[in-house]
Structure 1
Amino acid sequence: MASNQVDQADKSPQGQDEFDNPPRGPVGVHRGPKSLGVRALPYLIVVLLAVVCGIGVWAGVSGILPWQQQKPTSTTQVIRKPSASKDSTSTPSERNEATTAPSTPPAQTPSQTPPTPAPVVNRNTQVLVVNGTRTSGYAASKRQVLVNAGYGAVTASNPTGNLPAANVVRYQNEADKATAQDVANQLGIAQVEQSAAAGSPIEVVLVQ
C-alpha cells in the first residue's frame, strides 16, 4: 500500500519543487537588521525641521533675522549729535588751542603763601627802668620782676628829664618792638611806643 502511494507521488504531473523541502532559517523576503545611522535619520530630520520652524516664528515676531545687523539705537544718536554740533561751531583757533595748550601747574592762592614768622623776644636786650614816682625803691622792685622773667640786662635809674603822664614802655628800633611789648606785659603797662628819645634800647618810665 505504501509503495503505491510513493509511485503515485512520483507520477504526479507537478513533481517536487524547492518549496516542498524549504531550508532552515529566513530565506527570500526576510531582511537583516538596519544600521544605527539609517534608524536615526528620521529623528534628525524632525529635529532640523523643528529648529527651522522656530527660527521662522522668532523672525516673524521680532521682525529681525539672526544674520541681520542691529541698527544703533536712538539713544546713541542723541548722544553723538551734541558732540558733532560742538565741533562744527568751534573755530579752528579754538581747536588748535585745545590740542596744543601746555599743561601748567595751578597758580598759588594767597592761602598757600608761607606764614609770617612770629616776632622774636630778645631778653638779653638792655632795659632801663626809670622811677618817676615818689616811692623809694619802686624801680628796683620792677627791675626784679623782669629779672625773674629771664631778662639779664636790666638797670634801675632816676628820671633826668620830662616825665610822661602815665606809665610807658619805649623802644628805639623796630626790631625791639616785640621785646618792648613783652616787658610791658610783665609789668602790667598798657602803653608801648617807639621813641628815639629813649635812654636805652628799651626804657620803662614809671610815674604811677
Structure 2
Amino acid sequence: MSKADYPYPEDEFDAISPDAPTGVHRAPRSAWSRWWPFVVVLVVVPVIAYGAVAYLSRTGDLPLAGGSSQEQEAPAVPPEDAAAGEGTGEEPPADAEPEQPATEEPPAPEPDLATPVSVLNGARVSGLAGRVAEELQGVGFTAVFPDNASGSLPSASTVFITSEDLRPTAELVASTVGIPAIEVAPQQAGGGITVVLVTDPDA
C-alpha cells in the first residue's frame, strides 16, 4: 500500500528516525550457494545408501524379496536320506528300485503219519516185513501193513509213492527203514506208500 492510498493522517509513529535504516540490501548469492543442497542430495545420499547395502550384504542381514534375510537355515535332511548318502558322498539314482524285503520261504510240509504204508518182503528173509513195519510204527505211523511181495521186483529196495505230494512222508519212511531210493509209481504204490524189500536193510 502506498502513502497516497493511506487514509489516516501521519502521527509521531510515522516519523522516521534519521539513524534508522531505511531499507535492507542483501548481497547477491553465488551459484554454489544455490546448488550445493542439490549436490548433497544427488551425490552424498547415494554414496551413503551404497555403503549401507554393502555393509548389510557382508553381515548377511540384507532382507530378500520374500521378507526374509539371507541367513536362512538349510532345509533339514531326513534321517533316511542322510543315511543313504553317508559314506559315499553320492545320492542314490532316482530310478533305483527300493530293495525288497527278503521273503521267507514257506515251511516244509510235515509228514502225514496217517498215510497207509505197505511193507512187502521180496528178500525171502523170514519176518523182514514185520520187523520193518514195527520200525515204522515206532516213529508214529498208524497204518502199516506188512506182507510178502509178488510179481516182478525192482533191482534194489525202493519206496514207491503215488505222487510228489507224498514225498515228505516217503522220505521219513525211507530214512527210518534205511532205503535211499524213492520213486513215483502209482501202480506199484497202490493207495499210498509201498516199501518193496529185495534185501535186508539191516544186513
Scaled by the length of structure 1, the TM-score of the pair is: 0.48
Is the radius of gyration larger for structure 1 or structure 2?
1
